[in-house]
């Protein structure tokens, strides 16, 4: 396959580009800088609505992963505007562009997130569950709707609702490791909220499964089938590292430090079940947390 990838330098995108190359596919990066790599990159400028359609003719698939990091910096009005624009506007531009191609891709897989569901306690959330409330839920709804032009043009569209992607070098897990290795880790905000997680290997595997499986369309929960509570996550990580997890951070402290972001990320509870992946034959390499962490941390 010839696969266009936006967000190709991010946690998931860089791993996806590497896997595509290892398995004999051609990854074409959508970049904001001047293209290089022998002419295989394609340049765009989402802020100006600029994307040349000609290099996209004849693609087999598009994987759209670009988006502002929600965890860096306070959620000021300007930050929230960037979060929304970097997801909704870029998706709309890309969807409109591929919809007009004379040889459009067969499938377009767009990132979304578990934030779609809002804070839902211990409710089991399938791919068919309704959207929640809050800023991130609103962004995710608009983000997914922005792909409508591609869907209306007959392109199979996937909305990849990623759980917390685990990797020791980048992302949420990497930020936890310093404290946990010092024996200063523990549950956050009481520890009862559910954490829907997925190992990076499986996040990439799920994308490739979606691209190559015609039965996969619409919303896709990209999370391991065994969500755990914050307390279980902290205890498991401590056990893998051989460190105590006696300390805890109260919810008010997290809210004081992070403001609105805390209630919609660290303190939110989302218990995802990946029904669509399982029903279409995806086999998780790491369905349970402890083996996944031992693999990722070589412990």
Q: Are 285 and 202 in contact (CB under 8 A)?
A: yes
Residue indicated by tokens 């969500």: 227
User: What does the pLDDT read at residue 195?
Assistant: 98
Q: How many residues belong to the chain?
A: 299
User: What does the pLDDT read at residue 73?
Assistant: 86
Q: pLDDT band for position 34 (50/70/90)?
A: low
Q: Once rounded to an integer, what is the mean pLDDT over residues 158-181?
A: 96
What is the dihedral angle through the alpha carbons of 235, 236, 238, 244, rounded to the nearest 10 degrees?
30
pTM of the model: 0.95
pLDDT at residue 33 is higher than 90: no
- Name the phi and psi angles at 241, rounded to 5: -85, -10
Q: Poorest-confidence range of 28-42, 46-60, 245-259?
A: 28-42
User: What does the pLDDT read at residue 258?
Assistant: 87
- Name the phi and psi angles at 289, rounded to 5: -65, -50
- Name the phi and psi angles at 46, rounded to 5: -60, -35
Q: pLDDT band for position 32 (50/70/90)?
A: confident
Q: pLDDT band for position 5 (50/70/90)?
A: very high
Side-chain-side CA neighbours of 36 within 13 Å: the count stands at 2
Chain segment 60-95, per-residue pLDDT in tens: 999 999 999 998 889 999 999 999 999 999 999 999
Strand partners, 5: 29, 63
User: What does the pLDDT read at residue 182?
Assistant: 95
User: What does the pLDDT read at residue 133?
Assistant: 97
pLDDT at residue 216 is higher than 90: yes
Domain segments of the chain as ranges? 2-167+196-224+271-285
Is the domain 2-167+196-224+271-285 a CATH 3.40.50.720 member?
A: yes
Chain segment 243-298, per-residue pLDDT in tens: 999 999 899 888 988 899 999 999 999 999 999 999 999 999 999 999 999 999 99
User: What does the pLDDT read at residue 12?
Assistant: 98
pLDDT at residue 35 is higher than 70: no
């Amino acid at each position: 396959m010839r696969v266009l990838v936006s967000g190709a330098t991010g946690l998931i995108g860089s791993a996806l580009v590497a896997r595509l190359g290892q398995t004999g596919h051609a990854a074409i990066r959508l970049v904001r800088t001047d293209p290089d790599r022998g002419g295989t990159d394609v340049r765009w400028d989402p802020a100006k609505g600029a994307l040349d359609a000609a290099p996209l003719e004849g693609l087999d698939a598009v994987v759209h992963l670009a988006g502002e990091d929600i965890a860096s910096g306070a959620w000021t009005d300007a930050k929230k505007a960037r979060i929304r624009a970097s997801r909704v506007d870029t998706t709309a531009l890309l969807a409109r562009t591929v919809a007009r191609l004379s040889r459009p891709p067969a499938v377009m897989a767009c990132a979304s997130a578990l934030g779609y569901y809002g804070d839902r306690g211990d409710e089991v959330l399938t791919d068919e569950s309704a959207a929640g409330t809050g800023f991130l839920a609103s962004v995710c709804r608009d983000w997914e709707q922005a792909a409508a032009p591609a869907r209306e043009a007959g392109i199979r569209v996937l909305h990849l609702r990623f759980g917390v992607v685990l990797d020791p070098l980048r992302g949420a897990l990497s930020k936890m490791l310093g404290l946990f290795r010092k024996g200063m880790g523990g549950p956050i905000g009481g520890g009862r909220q559910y954490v829907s997680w997925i190992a990076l290997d499986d996040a990439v595997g799920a994308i490739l499964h979606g691209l190559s499986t015609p039965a996969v369309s619409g919303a896709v929960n990209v999370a391991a089938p065994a969500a755990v509570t914050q307390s279980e996550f902290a205890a498991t990580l401590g056990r893998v590292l051989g460190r105590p997890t006696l300390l805890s951070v109260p919810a008010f402290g997290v809210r004081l430090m992070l403001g609105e972001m805390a209630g919609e990320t660290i303190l939110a509870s989302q218990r995802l079940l990946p029904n669509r992946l399982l029903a279409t034959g995806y086999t998780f390499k790491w369905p349970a947390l402890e083996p996944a962490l031992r693999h990722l941390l070589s412990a």
